[in-house]
Amino acid sequence: MITKVTNSTKKVNPFGGIFFVINDLKNKGLSKLIDSQLGKRVKQARYSYSDIILNWAYCNLCGAERLEDIEKLRDSLDMKLPSHDSLGHVFKSFSRKLIHINDHEFSIHKPLNKLMVRTALNLGLLNTQKSYTLDYDNTIIEHQKYDKKMTYKMIKGYQPGVSFIDKIPVYIEGRNGNSNAAFQITETVERSLELLEESGIKIKRFRSDSAAYARPMLKMLDKKGIDFFIRPRKSHKIMDSLADATGWSTIELYRKTYQAKSIDYTPIGGSKYRMVIYRTEAKDEWKYLSVITNNWTMSEYEIIRFYNQRGEIERNFDDLKNNFNWGHLPFSFLNENTVFMIISAIVSIIYQYLIREFSKKVDFVKRTHRLKNFIYHFIVCSAIMEGEQLQLFTNRDYSGLIEIPDKII
């Protein structure tokens, strides 16, 4: 039973864990990076570009799903936050003119994509000494915005193309829903590779589904010295010719038994590549799968297993849609929403950094935590910031983290 309610003149912040986030990102110089990449706003502007982007990141890390949620958090966070109108205005100001190719619309934003890669470098999630695997795929974002178009799944929305290194988005290109993944894919992937090269990121291998199975793509990757692993479109002529073939090796993969073999394959007008074919028997007939590659040294097992690991990309898209608000696009047009998607992806990179670092220092943060768990276990903590002192009201031990600086907001 409640017997007494005490009013305090001190502001209690229910999201006290966010102070550790702000402090850590300040020490990493993320504000300086953002402003150096995007430039300075006019003198009369109240908030810098870094203020706008990082304040949205802080709100997202406190559970905000839509731009207007910043208004709900204003009192709770006790911080100088821009209005949701200011957020929207600045995000829209970043947008670039769409590129039209026949009935297709593309939103290409090199500066924000460059900032996304530089953020991953700044936070130590990527480095220029390693060589990486680049995964590419498209995803459908269903919505009812003004410029929506019908996708191949007969739902309306967008179909952006995204390059990932592990879980890290490193290039995002807005596409309207009618632009299938295969359309202009070579140009999209080449832009992605060029941006990474400019930032000193080395790509050793490339994986993609059958949308990337095109002679210009294979030629471009081969010329760049990148090993590609692509699912070719099915050729019944090739598969039928293998029905009575010999020389199959037996491999065990994911508790299933497959027969596998390699053949030389030369697309019309192309170079000779290696086709790794594997099959399993189901209902008295063979079910065939294959991977085309320019790698001649890996075993069939290594190639098949390596290619199948790209299935993780669906989890990446699920994370962006459900935790970083790709499912809540705020604007009416593709070029504006592409800005929002890239900035939201930058927030996801910040989160990946935080979960990696904080899990080393406090036992109640786990590397496996998704955003909601991180909010519940770390961010939600009653706190009072008074002058230089942060007082926490919790039985959780935050002492493994760095001290709060003299002034963080």
Indicate if the pLDDT at residue 1 is higher than 60. Answer: no
How far is residue 262's CA from residue 273's CA, in Å, rounded to a whole number? 10
How far is residue 371's CA from residue 342's CA, in Å, rounded to a whole number? 18
pLDDT of residue 409: 44
Indicate if the pLDDT at residue 341 is higher than 60. Answer: yes
Q: How far is CA 324 from the centre of its chain?
A: 9
Q: Model's pTM, two decimal places? A: 0.92
pLDDT of residue 403: 58
How far is residue 17's CA from residue 350's CA, in Å, rounded to a whole number? 15
User: pLDDT digits over 367-383, tens only?
Assistant: 999 999 999 999 999 88
Q: Is the separation of the CB atoms in 168 and 352 below 8 Å?
A: yes
DSSP alpha helix (H) spans, 95-226: 110-122, 185-198, 215-223
Q: Is the separation of the CB atoms in 112 and 96 below 8 Å?
A: no
Q: What is the mean pLDDT of the chain?
A: 89
User: pLDDT digits over 5-64, tens only?
Assistant: 444 556 788 899 999 999 999 999 999 999 999 988 887 888 999 999 999 999 999 999
Q: Considering only residues 339 and 403, tell me which one the structure prediction assigns the higher pLDDT.
A: 339
Q: Is the separation of the CB atoms in 170 and 192 below 8 Å?
A: yes
Q: Considering only residues 10 and 193, tell me which one the structure prediction assigns the higher pLDDT.
A: 193
User: pLDDT digits over 248-277, tens only?
Assistant: 889 998 888 889 999 888 876 778 999 999
pLDDT of residue 405: 46
Q: Is the separation of the CB atoms in 215 and 238 below 8 Å?
A: no
The least confident of 4-18, 54-68, 162-176, 222-236 is 4-18
How far is residue 273's CA from residue 108's CA, in Å, rounded to a whole number? 32
Q: Annotate 247-269 with b (16+ C-beta within 10 A) or e (fewer).
A: eeeebeeeeeebbbbbeebeeee
Q: Considering only residues 223 and 408, tell me which one the structure prediction assigns the higher pLDDT.
A: 223
pLDDT of residue 9: 55
Which of the given ranges, 13-22, 294-303, 306-315, has the highest pLDDT on average?
Answer: 294-303
How far is residue 176's CA from residue 287's CA, in Å, rounded to a whole number? 34
Residue 73 pLDDT level (bands cut at 50, 70, 90): confident
Contacts for 275 with CB less than 8 Å, ≥ 6 apart: 232, 238, 262, 263, 264, 265, 290, 291, 292
Which residues, in sequence order, are bridge partners of residue 15? Answer: 381
- Tell me the percentage of the chain whose pLDDT exceeds 70: 93
pLDDT of residue 59: 94
Q: Is the separation of the CB atoms in 138 and 161 below 8 Å?
A: yes
CATH architecture of 99-322: Alpha-Beta Complex (3.90)
Sketch the domain layout of the chain as residue ranges.
1-93+382-409, 99-322
What is the average pLDDT across 160-169? Answer: 96
Residue 292 CA: distances (Å) to CA of 124, 151, 212, 266:
33, 27, 11, 10
pLDDT of residue 75: 75
Q: Is the separation of the CB atoms in 300 and 278 below 8 Å?
A: yes
DSSP H or E stretch at residue 252: strand 249-253
Indicate if the pLDDT at residue 4 is higher than 50. Answer: no
DSSP alpha helix (H) spans, 224-310: 236-241, 300-308
